[in-house]
Structure formats: structure tokens, C-alpha cells
Amino acid sequence: MFYYLLIVNKNGSLIYDRGFSTTVKLTSNEVINIASIFYSMHAISSKLTPPGYEKTSELKLENGGIEIMEANQMRLVCFQTLTKIKFIFVTDYQTTLEKCQDNFRKIYDVYSDVVAKNPNYELDMPIRVNSFDEKVNEIFVK
């Protein structure tokens, strides 16, 4: 089950968050804290990766930083685009990485088509596009 979708811009600002669970509820401050702490850890880990390091990630993406953080009952999975936008999924432990990767591709397609091509949207600003919310619901709420 997907608990949350967070989108963080290249500067580390949370530009979109959406919760999907009725059991896991986070306050706005908790969501901002998760996004900012993960962004910082991702940036530090990408700097610590030695040059020429052969990537052995399960996700087969070129993030250059932390991709997965696991705890007892949940998992954070990060996908970074070439433009440094991070899509972070907070999921339960049973959600497979393949399902995360599949949903990343879907949400990135929707982001590209609905948000990035929207003439009223300014890059790196919070996403307030109703059609994006509707498409996100179609992907995650079934």
C-alpha cells in the first residue's frame, strides 16, 4: 500500500504531497520534515559515492544517492529525474519495488504531461493543478 507521495524540487523544497492511507496520518510539519531530511541525506550520500562506482541498485535508476530506506513496517523509495526532481513514495513493506517503479513511471508521465506542460505552472513552485490531483488518484487510489 502506498501511504504518501512526496515531490521535492531540485532545491529541496516540497512541491507536492498527497496521503493515501486512512491509518497513517502525518501532520504538515511531519511531511515537510520527512521531505527535507530525506533530501539532505540523498544529497550527502550522492557526494559520498566514489567516482567510477559500479551501480548495483535494485531499481536500476541513476539516482546517485539514497534510493531506498527501510524500517520495520514501512519503506521510503526515491526516484530522481534527470532534472533533479525527487519523487518519494512512502509505502508499506509488502509493496514491491517493481510496483513502485511502475507507479513512478506513471506519475512521471502524468507530471510531464499535466504539470510541466501547463503554461500556468511555474517550475519549482508548489503543484496546484486539479487535473494532476485527479490523475494521482487514478494511479494510487484503487
Q: What does the pLDDT read at residue 105? A: 94
Per-residue pLDDT of the chain in tens (142 residues, 90 and over written 9): 999 999 999 999 999 999 998 888 899 999 999 999 999 999 898 888 766 665 555 555 555 688 899 988 899 999 998 888 999 999 999 999 999 999 999 999 999 999 999 999 998 899 999 999 999 999 998 6
Q: What does the pLDDT read at residue 52? A: 61
DSSP H or E stretch at residue 39: helix 28-48
Residues 95/75, Cβ–Cβ less than 8 Å: yes
**Grid coordinates representing 135?**
490523475
Whole-angstrom Cα distance, residue 122 to residue 14? 14
Residue 76 belongs to what domain range?
2-140
Whole-angstrom Cα distance, residue 83 to residue 96? 26
CATH number of 74's domain = 3.30.450.70
Q: What does the pLDDT read at residue 48? A: 82
What's the number of domains the chain is made of?
Answer: 1
Q: What does the pLDDT read at residue 45? A: 87
**Grid coordinates representing 112?**
510531464
Whole-angstrom Cα distance, residue 124 to residue 121? 9
